[in-house]
Amino acid sequence: MRDDLSAIFVESGERNPLKSAQRDMKRPLPKRFYKDVSVQPSGDGFGLALDGKPVRTPARAALVVPVKSLAEAVAEEWRAQGEEINPAQMPKTRLVNTALDGVSREIAAVTAEIAKFAGSDLVCYRAGAPESLVAEQNAAWNPVLDFARERFSARFVCSEGVMFVAQPDESLNSIFRAVEALGEGRNGAFRLAALHVMTTLTGSALIALALAHGGLDFEAAWAAAHVDEDHQMRLWGADDEALARRAARKAEMRAAYEVFTALEN
């Protein structure tokens, strides 16, 4: 029985959740080769075992996470597989692989990559019309800016349209420090991996940080990231393919949020 995931999951430490899932879906699905899935203590964390044999990541690191609740969540994805193993249906496993094989080796780079979103954050670029969209953006995005100001002492400038607006250096530095703090400690790589997913899927470091720190609940954060899309869908409708893509993104987002919250409990 194989003891690593190199034949099943992407080996490169891919940090983009959608690219990773798309790449996985193009590969032939392997047959399920195990019966029992268990969680076992391993050092100061908890590992996954298939038929009693400890599992390793695609890069041959021990698949060990800091908290038991996260290990159990990953185990449930493996238990849920049928006759074939479908990595596209295992977002928490992919995220843990990314944290161990990629993010843990590039903490500074991932921190900078996440914080960079604040320089052109979604919530700072507003529509001038129609009034209904303006109102919806204000309702969803102003609380995010308020949270950034109150929690991180970071004030952001809003612009109408898509013309780039430079943000105050002190605000960008505050957001960088907030992201950097999440990358510290034994849970840091896992928190950053989850925060990276939440940031890339929303297009907003500020929404992701508000969600991570309890300034927004999950549904509010998801809605805030899709104000413009929801407005267009109400006007013109949406096809089944677009809705399926959106559902896949939301599943990735929820998995990242659940990984993040598991680490905090």
9 against 93, higher pLDDT: 93
| Containing structural domain, residue 31 | 17-87
Number of domains within the chain? 2
Residues 129-158: pLDDT tens digits? 999 999 999 999 999 999 999 999 999 999
Residue 93 placed within a domain: no
Residues 165 and 40 in one domain: no
The CATH number covering residue 42 comes to 3.30.2180.10
Residues 14-43: pLDDT tens digits? 555 545 545 555 668 889 999 999 999 999
d(CA 9, CA 184): 27
Residue 99 placed within a domain: no
pTM: 0.90
Q: What percent of the chain has pLDDT over 70?
A: 90
For residue 179, give the nearest of 155, 148, 202 by alpha carbon: 148
Residues 228-262: pLDDT tens digits? 999 999 888 888 888 999 999 999 999 999 999 99
Residues 57 and 119 in one domain: no
Residues 203 and 236 in one domain: yes
Residue 174 placed within a domain: yes
| pLDDT of the residue at 9 | 61
Question: pLDDT-derived band of residue 1, with 50, 70 and 90 as boundaries?
Answer: very low
Residues 56 and 136 in one domain: no
The CATH number covering residue 215 comes to 1.10.3580.10
